[in-house]
A and B are shown apart, each in its own frame.
Chain A
Amino acid sequence: MTPLLAQAGLTQGVTVALVLSAALFTIGLIGFLVRRNMILMFLCTELMLQAASIAFIAFGRMREDTGGQTFVIFILTVAAAEAALALGLVVLLYRRRETLSAEAWQELHE
């Protein structure tokens, strides 16, 4: 913990939340890069968004500011819009190829 954060009143609970958020973000990023199932890849990006939400709430608590929680509501809204779009696209692709693997789609390359 850097002295600057300590000054700002970083409490034990906030630290735990931030560690959780960083772990979720990392898991999501690694999952996105190694998984090839399109639904799982999308869930990994959702995981990263929720990691950001947790970070926002934790920082809002630390700063005693409501801005962080406000942002989370907008993240949820955008995540819902993205999920609708993702499902639409995935269904469209599934009808064409009967598979969810991203590797079945490689027509576009050098």
Chain B
Amino acid sequence: MSAAVTVAERIGSLVPEMIVFGGSVVVSVTGLSPKRSVRAATPFLSVLTLIAALVALTKGWGGSTTAGLLLPGVGPFARGLILLMGVGGAALAAGLVDRRYEEAVARGVAPFDPIRVVRGEFFAFMLLSICGALLIPGSPDLIWLFLALELTSLPTYIMVAMSRGTRRAQEAAVKYFFLGALSTAILVYGFALIYGSTGSLQLTEIRAALAQQSAMGGIDAVGTIGLLLVAIALCFKLAAAPMHFYAPDVYEGAAAPVTGFLSFLPKMAGFSALLLVVDAAGWGGMSNAGNGLPPALQATLWMVTVLTMTLGNVGALLQRSAKRMLAYSSIAHSGYMLMAIVAGPELGLPALLLYLLAYGVNNNAIFGALSGIERNGQEVEKVEDLAGLARRHPGAATWLAVGSASLMGMPPFLGFWAKLVLFIAVVKSGHTPLVVIAAVNSVVSVLYYLRLAGVPILAPSGAAAEGVVKTPSAGPRLAAVVFGVGVLVLPLFMNRLVSQIEKAAGVPQKMGAAAQPDALQAASR
């Protein structure tokens, strides 16, 4: 039980988080330095902080204690993934905030005024948000989970408002904030009902209490409503129906690097939290096909899954703005990933982790390509404006095409393998109708992904496309190259990757598949 874990042990398992937190304090100071070179080093320091945290995690300073935790195997993998994608996010945003002002200062037009620079704060908020996401997978109780979720989302609202000085960015920030506040309230009410039903805030104790209720004829009404409210509230983080409608507006209003950050980190945080909640609700049981969720929750998740992927893909078809299209695509991918939750832990969990990895890598490659180009100092918004990009900027067009093809699920890119593993897992768990719907959706998605990949290469360039130039900062292009190469190279290591992920996901298999490794060993003997 959790009582066996001392406070010192618990704090000792937070070394990566503490490094990230320390980094956020440092960058908020360096961002205010009167020296221009120190200010310019702020994004670089953020990247270094995240890499340091990643090294600390791989050295095993992320804690080895598993007592009192649900799904302890997922923790290190999820935290590594968050840090890796955070490095990409920080690189994407390298030249974003304060650019005009810094240019004016460099030319000597404006005097340096520390009140007017916000770059340090921007990267501090980004690191704080990553710190919050890192805390989620290892949550021992509901208070920790609640605070970690809030630490993830509160800084992102400010990042959206800061990302551009435009009215649209501010409108996006307010929309995002109000719906975030609503989802927080629903989440907390759900937690209160779960607490009322089980009498505990510890996730392990909640799981035991809910399992006992299930065995005695079903989870009571209070607990069921609590679980449903929490699931609906987490849909906001995932950008899943019925809480998805903010996504297109927010993604369009925020600057492209922040959009790239928002389409991965909150989703990752949401799935980490949802995994804990469904595991507490008896995910590892065997009463349904593939999992032991209470029927009401299972049915809700099934409907949310279908609605999310359908609304996402149909919505994306109608878009002219590249970022709105990617917002709907992000909704659709949440839908695909939710299938893994419906499929149950044994098959679904490794598939979900692999899909999150693939989605994050694709996402950074695409947004790196989009953030690396501009026209008249503005982002390139419409897909038509990308026409002829391949001739002028072959790099950006290549990574855009690679990223789109991979999100589409075209072999041999990374996205294809992730989708394949996921679809196989869902079929094996007996949810064939879901896979049929997902396959139809995938076919629909080909239409708009082909447009995003094909217009830059095939369409003749018009007047609007001529003015497209590279942004001064190399950060986004570097991120596009690194993650784009990842999309191409990672499939070569697919076997090792899958076995690593299965090892990470192995722990929750104890309920259904405890006998399996022994059987395998016996067979190999």
Contact = CB atoms under 8 A, between A and B. Distances in A.
Contact of A107 (B146, B168, B221): B168
Interface in B226-270: 248-249, 252-253
B252 A108 contact: yes
A59 B146 CA distance: 18
Interface in A74-110: 74-75, 78, 81-82, 85-86, 89-90, 92-93, 96, 102, 105-110
B147 interface: yes
Contacts of B286: none
B220 A65 contact: no
Contacts of B184: 45, 49, 78, 82
Interface residues of A, number: 49
Interface in A4-37: 4-5, 8, 18, 21, 25, 28, 32
Interface string A36-71: 001001100100110111011011101101011011
Contact of A108 (B147, B150, B200, B249): B249
Nearest to A25: B189
B427 interface: no
* Residue with the greatest number of chain A CB neighbours at <10 A, chosen from B174, B177, B192, B249: B192
Given A4-B220, A92-B161, A107-B171, A86 B191 contact: no
B143 A74 contact: yes
Given A71-B191, A74-B143, A52 B171 contact: no
B171 A59 contact: no
Contacts of B319: 110
Contact of B185 (A4, A45, A74, A81): A45
A16 B189 CA distance: 17
Interface in B184-213: 184-186, 188-189, 191-193, 195-196, 199-201, 213
Contact of A5 (B142, B170, B220): B220
Contact of A59 (B185, B196, B213): B196
B182 interface: yes
* Residue with the greatest number of chain A CB neighbours at <10 A, chosen from B195, B200, B220, B222: B195
B171 A105 contact: yes
Contact of A110 (B195, B220, B253, B318): B318
A7 to B, nearest CB: 10
Contacts of A93: 170-171, 174
Interface string B138-177: 0000110011001000100110010000011011111101
Contact of B182 (A8, A45, A51): A45
A6 to B, nearest CB: 11
B110 interface: no
A90 B178 CA distance: 11
A71 to B, nearest CB: 6
A83 B101 CA distance: 30
Contacts of A71: 142-143, 146, 191-192, 195, 201
A90 B147 CA distance: 24
Given A74-B146, A108-B168, A38 B195 contact: no
B188 A75 contact: yes
B392 to A, nearest CB: 29
A-B pairs, top 4 by smallest CB distance, nearest first, are A48-B185, A59-B196, A55-B192, A108-B249
18 contacts: A8-B199, A21-B192, A25-B185, A42-B178, A42-B181, A51-B185, A56-B192, A59-B195, A65-B199, A67-B201, A68-B195, A74-B147, A78-B146, A92-B161, A93-B171, A105-B175, A107-B167, A108-B168
Given A106-B171, A108-B253, 11 more contacts: A5-B220, A45-B185, A52-B192, A55-B192, A59-B192, A71-B201, A74-B146, A78-B150, A81-B154, A108-B175, A108-B252
